[in-house]
């Protein structure tokens, strides 16, 4: 069985799961359950969209990994189903963004003939990442939402440039670390201190990004980019002292922010004891924990959970964005919530396997960086809503509502499939 045929069969399973999900939510929303072809039309359109993506991969990247696209599809389907259950109008908007995301995915696969050409643009990508992160701080462009300036408004269009900045930053790090990995690994002097000549540009780009994120109060984005930087630096050099120094700096910076920034101190206090103010500052986290606990082993079922009030609002603010995993855990239970995590684990396993199989430094670091980005972001948001770590307010990849997030993640997926195709092409050529 060819890789693409295996992918197509996985997409058939995706279609079945999507249909069951939409039909379940539709029936649960009716006072008198009555079957309608409306839910089937939604599922059919969704499946057709991913079938188009499959055709693009079959034509352009026939040797790419057969599991990544179906996993992204089923995560997107779960997210759309939950958003449709919470607010149908919002689900329609998310559907539009999914179409745009798949369009960008297809465009990247068809037009970017060789992703390694991005290596020559690494400094452009690094500077572009900083520019994108600066945009929300520009007066007249940036919008402040929930205490953080993450959004940019241009006419009727609103988007989060930070979602695209993380992809550009990974490209920069992959190119720069590939060029300087030997010197950064060895360093100079008796203790192997890295040369400022080679480490300086890296710190300049990364430090600029971190300063912008602190300035805009995007603490979740700061944690994500710091973690990506540390992970890729370790993959490139294999030196644990970098990790030790990075974690020390992270601890020191966290303490400084805790003391200097009231918003950070409030987040830590809520994390340590959300029940101190269950109807105030700790309300979101308390309700999130209750929602997860209410799901039990197998959940209440799609459309049967206690998520939406009679006035149309949600019991947990920002449910469809920051706390969608809590809604999944309530309606699908521990089994469904664990299945979602397993999907991410399989995605990351396939991504790191691609990185390990790559025979050139740029491909290896690019695949490892893209996979680490998705893995770390998933850990941060699931850990936050479950009380494992402080809340940060970032999106769950492919699942949460958010146009910028879904489009950027499809771009990430396209790049990872390109690397996979080239890796497998090399394997085939050596046989």
* Beta-sheet strands, E only, within 14-115: none
Query: Phi/psi of residue 158, each to 5°?
Result: -125, 135
Which residues does residue 144 pair with via DSSP β-bridges, in sequence order?
A: 149
Reported residue count of the chain is: 431
pLDDT computed for residue 200 by the predictor: 65
pLDDT computed for residue 116 by the predictor: 93
Q: Is 283 exposed, middle or buried (0-12, 13-18, 19+ CB in 10 A)?
A: middle
3-state secondary structure of 20: helix
C-alpha distance from residue 265 to each of 74, 269, 392 (Å): 37, 6, 12
Name residues whose C-beta falls within 8 Å of residue 27's C-beta, 6 or more positions apart in sequence: 33, 34, 35, 303
Scan for tokens 């309300």, then name that residue. Answer: 283
The closest of 422, 415, 399, 342 to 83, measured between CA atoms, is: 399
C-alpha distance from residue 196 to each of 174, 204, 386, 424 (Å): 19, 11, 41, 38
pLDDT computed for residue 198 by the predictor: 57
pLDDT computed for residue 370 by the predictor: 97
Q: pTM of the entire structure?
A: 0.92
pLDDT computed for residue 246 by the predictor: 78
Task: Give the C-alpha separation, 319 to 294, whole Å.
Answer: 16
Distance from chain centroid for Cα 92: 21
pLDDT computed for residue 100 by the predictor: 96
CB contact at 8 A, 324 and 316 = no
pLDDT computed for residue 189 by the predictor: 52
Q: In what order do the strands lie in the sheet with 142-145?
A: 142-145, 148-154, 157-159
Tens digits of pLDDT across the chain (431 residues):
788 899 999 998 888 888 888 888 878 777 656 666 666 777 888 889 999 999 999 999 999 999 999 999 999 999 999 998 898 889 889 999 999 999 999 999 999 989 999 999 999 999 999 888 888 878 777 777 666 677 787 777 788 888 999 999 999 999 988 988 877 776 555 555 566 665 666 667 667 666 665 666 667 777 888 889 889 989 988 888 778 877 887 777 778 777 777 777 888 888 989 998 888 889 999 999 999 999 999 999 888 888 888 777 888 888 998 899 999 999 999 999 999 999 999 999 999 999 999 988 999 999 999 999 999 999 999 999 999 988 887 899 999 998 899 999 999 999 999 999 999 987 666 65
3-state secondary structure of 279: coil
Q: How far apart are the first and last CA of the chain?
A: 18
């Amino acid at each position: 069985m060819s890789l693409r045929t295996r992918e197509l069969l996985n997409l058939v399973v995706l279609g079945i799961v999507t249909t069951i999900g939409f039909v379940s939510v539709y029936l649960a929303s009716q006072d008198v359950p009555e079957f309608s072809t409306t839910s089937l039309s939604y599922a059919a359109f969704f499946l057709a969209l991913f079938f188009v993506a499959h055709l693009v991969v079959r034509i352009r990247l026939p040797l790419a990994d057969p599991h990544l696209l179906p996993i992204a599809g089923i995560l997107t389907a779960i997210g759309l189903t939950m958003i449709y259950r919470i607010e149908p109008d919002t689900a329609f908007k998310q559907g539009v963004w999914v179409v745009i995301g798949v369009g960008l995915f297809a465009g990247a696969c068809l037009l970017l003939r060789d992703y390694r050409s991005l290596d020559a643009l690494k400094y452009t990508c690094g500077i572009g990442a900083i520019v994108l992160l600066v945009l929300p701080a520009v007066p007249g462009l940036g919008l402040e939402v929930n205490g953080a300036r993450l959004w940019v408004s241009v006419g009727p269009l609103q988007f989060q440039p930070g979602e695209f900045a993380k992809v550009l930053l990974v490209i920069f790090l992959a190119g720069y670390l590939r060029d300087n990995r030997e010197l950064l690994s060895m360093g100079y002097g008796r203790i192997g201190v890295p040369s400022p000549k080679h480490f300086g540009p890296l710190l300049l780009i990364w430090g600029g990004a971190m300063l912008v994120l602190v300035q805009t109060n995007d603490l979740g984005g700061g944690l994500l980019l710091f973690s990506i930087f540390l992970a890729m630096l370790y993959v490139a050099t294999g030196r644990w002292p970098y990790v030790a120094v990075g974690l020390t700096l992270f601890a020191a910076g966290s303490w400084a922010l805790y003391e200097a920034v009231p918003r950070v101190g409030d987040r830590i206090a809520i994390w340590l004891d959300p029940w101190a103010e269950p109807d105030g500052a700790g309300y979101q986290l308390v309700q999130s924990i209750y929602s997860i606990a209410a799901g039990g082993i197998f959940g209440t079922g799609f459309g049967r959970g206690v998520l939406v009030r009679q006035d149309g609002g949600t019991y947990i603010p920002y449910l469809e964005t920051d706390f969608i995993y809590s809604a999944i855990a309530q309606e699908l239970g521990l089994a469904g919530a664990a299945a979602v995590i397993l999907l991410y684990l399989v995605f990351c396993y396939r991504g790191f396997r691609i990185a390990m199989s790559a025979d050139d430094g740029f491909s290896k670091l690019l695949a490892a960086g893209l996979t680490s980005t998705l893995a770390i972001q998933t850990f941060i948001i699931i850990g936050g809503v479950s009380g494992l770590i402080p809340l940060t307010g970032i999106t769950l990849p492919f699942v949460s509502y958010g146009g910028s997030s879904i489009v950027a993640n499809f771009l990430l997926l396209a790049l990872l499939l390109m690397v996979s195709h080239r890796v497998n092409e090399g394997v085939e050529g050596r046989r």
